[in-house]
Structures are given as C-alpha cells and as structure tokens.
Structure 1
Amino acid sequence: MFVEIPAPAVVTPLRVARPPLPRRLLRAAPPYLYLTPALALLVIWTYRPLAQAAQLSFYSWNLLPSRPATPVGLDNYVRLFQLPAVGASLRRTGEVIGGLLPFTIVIPVVVGLLTQRVRGRARAVYQAMVFAPLLVAPVASATVWQWLLDPGSGAVNRILGTNTNWLHDQHWAQPAIIVMTGWHLLGFAVLVVAAGLAGINRDYTEAALLDGASRGQITRWITLPLLSPTLVFLALMTVLLAAQWTFPLIDTITQGGPSGATTNVYYLLWDYSFHSFDAGLGTAAGMLLFVVFGLVAMVLVLLSEKLSFHDD
C-alpha cells in the first residue's frame, strides 16, 4: 500500500521594502559624524600647511609681508643640490640616527631583559626613575649639561681627569649632543620595550624550558623575534625624529656649531628659513626631507607588518 505525500509548498520569501535613500544615509552617517572633527583638524593643521609648504618651495620670499613671494620654479631645489652644507647636514643626520639607536634599541632591550623579574612596588619605582628624564624640559636639561660639561669646572672632566671642551670642539660636540638626547629618550624606549616584553605569551618560554632550552637560547630564538615589531617601531621613531629631538639642545647650546659640526638637516632647514630668511629654500629642504623620510618610514612600516604577520 502506497501513501501519496504531497509535495511541500514553496514558500515565497517576503520582499522587505528597502528604506528610502535619505533614511539609509542617515543610518550610515553617525560613524562619519564622529570622525568629522578629527578629520577637519587633521586637514586644517596638517594637510593644509603641508600643501602651502609645497607651494612655497617654488617661490622666493624673505618672510616680509611688504614683499610678495616671487615664483622661481625649481630653482630652490637646484640650489639645494648645489649647496655643500646640505650634503654635510645629511651625513651628520645619519650620524645622529646611528648614535641614538643604542639609546633607543640596544640599551632598552638589555635593561628590559634584566629587569623582567622586577615586580610590585619596586617595579613602579624603577619605571618612574627610568622615565623621569623624559619629563625634564630640553632647555632645562641643556643648562645642566652645560654645567656638567664645562671645560674648567665640569663634573665630567673632573671624573675623567681631562680638560676637554666638549661642546665647543668639532670632534666632541656632535657626540655630546647625541649622549644628551639619548639620556633624554632612554626612559621612553625602556618603557616601550617593557610593554613589548609584557605582551609576549609566557607559554613559549615555559615550553622551551621544558624542552631543555637555556635562558640565552630563549632570548635569542623566542624573545627577540617576538619583540621585533616593537624594535622596528623604535627604529622608525629614531629615524624619523632623531634630528628633531636634537633640535632644542642644538639651538640652546651650540647653534649648529662649532663650525657647523652639529648642524643636521632639521636644524639646517630651520636656519635657512629663520636665520637667512629664505623661506623658499627652507621649505624646499623640508619637502625633500618629508619625501625621503616618508619613503624610509614606508619601508619600515612594511617590515613591521611582515614581522607582525609572521608572529601570528
């Protein structure tokens, strides 16, 4: 005996009427409305001045309102490549970056690894002491360093038993500025490294210990590779901001001297604009600096993304 089962009825889905376009736009608007103030400030205070600087780099102007800017085409950029001071300032900028890397990467990693086991109140005190130099105004620290490095009665010369004129000798002025800036930034870099170390999962270390790995092997093959995105970030900050970080000390202590020994590219473009009153040449130097450091930043960011992806 066969029972005939009727075919299931096909249920036609109800068509929901789409709301009108104005209502859909109104629903999608809130996130963009929240972003509007920040985007407006970014355009007003960043992109608009950048566009004006790019435009001014094609003009000759001495910053006097009574004298209008004169278009000169690419002459400012041609002059930059012909001035010997530009090449020398780029070389000194490279020296500053190389001199600061130990203070922003090497020493912070060593300190971070050695103090990983500090806990409780002692850790808070240690972090406060390490971070304290960053809270000191650069101009105030420059005054103290001038006293410490005084060739006659400075504490540094007394301790070392020398009479070196650290800030007015062509061979020592640049290293002195680098050490002052490195001391100022060391605490910030140490805290960044400590944050990176805290973000590493302890399971990796415990698994390696169970497999018989030594502390040195764990540091070399586990901790440092997992810390690499943090180190790339510190390297990026050093490359992009090294010349800017040294500016307050240079302007306060050496004014680019002696004989241009501490004039890096950042101080040079400021000198062209506000000492020589050649705004076109100064902005042209700034645009070249922006392009070159922008390319370097792009490479380091891509490297950081690859390292982060590798960690995942």
Structure 2
Amino acid sequence: MFVEVPAPVKLAVPTVAKPSVPRRFLRALPPYLYLAPALALLVIWTYRPLVQTAQLSFYSWNLLPTQPMLPAGLDNYRRLLELPELGQSVTRTFFVIGGLLPFTIVVPVLAGLLTSRIRGRARGFYQGLVFAPMLVAPVASAAVWRWLLDPGGGVVNRVLGTDNNWINEIATANPAIVLITGWHLVGFAVLVVSAGLSNISGDYAEAAQLDGASRWQITRWITLPLLSPTLVFLTLMTVLLSAQWTFPLIDTLTQGGPANSTTNVYYLLWDYSFHDYNAGVGAAAGMLFFVGFGLVAAVLVWLSERLTFHDN
C-alpha cells in the first residue's frame, strides 16, 4: 500500500519594490537645499573674487573703467619680488604677530586661570567688562587713542612723564599699533580661553588632588594640555589675521608711516592697488599672500593634530 505524499507548498515571498532613482534623489536632497544658500554666498563672495584676483594678477590696469587691461604675464610677480618693500612688510608682519601673541595667548590664559572660579552674576559682569573693547569700532578707538597718545597733553605722556610722539616716530609707531590692537583682542581671547576651561571635566583635577598633586602640577600637566586645542586655535587666528586686524588702525592713524614703519603685508597690498593705482601688482601681492598664509595654516593644522590633547 502506497501513501501519496503531497508536494511541498511554495510560499510566495512578497517583493518590496525599490524606490526609483528620482525618488531616492529627492529624499536625499533636503540637507543640500539647506546648505545651498550658504554655499552660494561662499562662491559669490569668496571663490569668485579669488578667481578674479588670480586673473587680474596677470594684467596691468590702473583701475580706470575707460582704460583696458593689458596682458602682463608674470611681470607683476617678478616686479613684486624685486621690490625691497615686500620683504620689509613681511618682517613687520612677523613683528606684529609676535607682539600680539601675548595678548591672545599669555594674558588670556593667565586671566582665565585666575578667574575660573568666578560664578553667578559676577561672572557675567566680568565677561561683559572684558569683552567691551571688542565692541568698540576701530575708527572710534583710533580717535580715542590718538588723544591718549598725543605728544602735547596726552594722558599716556602725563602718566609716564614723557613727551614722546608715539604714533609719528619710527621706533614707537609699530609697537603702538600692536598695543592698541592687543587691547581690542584680549577680551575676545579671554572669553575663548574661559570657554575652553569650562569644557575640561573637573574629575581630572579631583583625581590628581587625591594622588597628592599640587595646583601648579594640575595646571601644568592636566589643564594646559587639555586646553591645547583652544590655544592652537587662537595661535592660528593670530598668525593668519594679525595683519588684517591692524589694518583699520594703520589706515586711520599712520597710513603706513612714518617712513613705512607700520606698512605690513595687508597695507602694502592696499597701497599698491588704491594709492599707486596698480591693480595688477596689488592682485599679484594678494595671491602671494594667499598662498603663503595658506601654507602656514596647513602647517599649523598639521602640527595641531599631533601636539594637541583632547578630552574623549
């Protein structure tokens, strides 16, 4: 007797239709739409002028719309590199960077460490008081500092008992510009350092205290290493933007003088373009400075990735 075994029933597996390519594209599109306005403005206000500057650096033009731009090839770059003013302006820029680093690194770190325990309303008042100089327009502060440094009846000369002409003497003009710029920036740098200190967990200091570490040892071996990303950020900003920060004060107080003693790379670029009416040389200077500062920024970022410590 044979029993007939029924054949296995095959269950139909439902197939899920994959979304079409246009539908997947539309689903992935919204984030890029949010970014589109910022990217458009970046292209219009940054990359487009950069390309136009690079093109202009190969032409000779006096900024007059009625005059044509004449091809100059590499003559603008060769002429620029042969000028002694270029090397002198770079040296002055290094002096400005070195003069501003205490105002953006040393003083903010000391102020941040000494005031890290301020809490409550006193902290808000202190932060507002420190940040106040950053809110003063450079032109307005230049007028006030011109009065303070006046050789005849300025407050600074009265306090020091001198009659120096701080702004119009070669030996003191550049240090005066650095001092005024540092006064502007120190409040911003202090707030950045204070924000970096507040992000460091207090558990490290408590554990170190339990092991018998002194306050100086905690600061030296725990706080400062964990603050290194903030300090590298401030150093990077100081190196890249020092000449730009001093430009409004130089243009208002000294116009690059006396005897070009305050002419840094940014004011030299301005001088070539809008005083000598040589847009091609000014554009060539701008491209050289762009490449130079870009290389410096790349080196600093590379160093920061290897020298900084992060609280993970």
> Aligned partner of 1:274: which letter?
F
Mapped to 2, the partners of 1:11 and 1:162 lie a distance apart of 101
CA distance in 1, matches of 2:56, 2:273: 11
Q: What CA distance in whole angstroms lies between the structure 2 residues aligned with 1:298 and 1:153?
A: 47
RMSD: 1.5
C-alpha distance after superposition, 1:49-75 (max 9, x if no partner): 100000000000000000011111111
Q: Report Cα offsets for 1:67-122 as digits up to 9, x if no partner.
A: 01111111111011100000000000000000000000000000000001111111
Structure 1 residue 191 corresponds to structure 2 residue 191: yes
How far is the alpha carbon of 1:305 from its aligned partner?
Answer: 3.3
Q: CA separation in 1, counterparts of 2:292 and 2:96? A: 16
- Counterpart in 2 of 1:177? 177
Structure 2 Cα separation of the partners of residues 19 and 190 of structure 1: 53
Q: Tell me the equivalent position of 1:160.
A: 160
Unaligned 5+ residue runs, structure 2?
1-8
Please report the TM-score for the alignment, with normalisation by the length of structure 1. Answer: 0.94
Query: Which residue of the partner structure matches residue 21 of structure 1?
Result: 21
SS at match of 2:176: helix
1:86 aligns with 86
Q: What CA distance in whole angstroms lies between the structure 2 residues aligned with 1:11 and 1:130?
A: 75
- 2:223 corresponding residue in structure 1: 223
SS of alignment partner, residue 171 of structure 2: coil
> What percentage of residue pairs aligned between the two structures are identical?
72
- Give the Å deviation of 1:286: 0.5
Give the letter aligned to residue 278 of structure 1: N
How far does residue 306 in structure 1 lie from its aligned partner after superposition? 3.5
| 1:148-188 deviation per Cα after TM superposition (whole angstroms, max 9, x unaligned) | 11111111111111111111110000000000000000100
8 A Cα contact 2:131 2:191, kept in partner: yes
CA distance in 2, matches of 1:60, 1:193: 46
Aligned counterpart, 2:3? none
Residue in structure 2 matched with residue 47 of structure 1 by the alignment:
47
In structure 2, distance between residues paired with 1:59 and 1:288: 15
Distance in 1 (CA, whole Å) between partners of 2:14 and 2:198 is 54
| Equivalent AA in structure 2 for residue 145 of structure 1 | W
What is the one-letter code of the residue matched to 2:136?
V
SS across alignment from 2:29: helix
Gaps of 5+ in 1: 1-8
CA distance in 2, matches of 1:107, 1:72: 48
CA distance in 2, matches of 1:38, 1:299: 27
In the other structure, the counterpart of 1:128 is 128
Q: 2: CA distance between counterparts of 1:192 and 1:255? A: 31
Seen in structure 2, the aligned counterparts of structure 1 residues 23 and 214 have a Cα distance that, compared at 3 Å, is same
User: Residue 128 of structure 1: CA displacement?
Assistant: 0.6
Q: Secondary structure at the match of 1:165?
A: coil
8 Å contact from structure 2 (residues 89, 263) kept in 1: yes
> Are the structure 2 counterparts of residues 12 and 166 from structure 1 closer, same or farther at C-alpha, using a change threshold of 3 Å?
farther
Give the letter for the 1:103 counterpart: F
Q: What is the letter of the counterpart of residue 78 of structure 2?
A: V
Partners of 2:273 and 2:281 within 8 A in 1: yes
Distance 2:90 2:293 in 1: 12
Count of matched residue positions in the alignment of Structure 1 and Structure 2: 304
Structure 1 position 304, deviation (Å): 2.9
2:147 matched to which residue of 1?
A: 147
Give the aligned residue type for 1:269.
Answer: L
Letter in 2 for 1:216: W
Q: How many Å apart are 1:16 and its aligned residue?
A: 2.4
Cα separation, 2, equivalents of 1:97 and 1:13? 71
Cα deviation for residue 309 of structure 1 reads 6.2
**Aligned residue runs from structure 1 range 207-218, under 5 A:** 207-218=207-218
- Counterpart CA distance in 2 for 1:10 and 1:181 is 82
* Cα 1:12/1:222, change in 2 over 3 Å: farther
Match of 1:4 in 2: none
What amino acid is the match of 1:159?
A: V
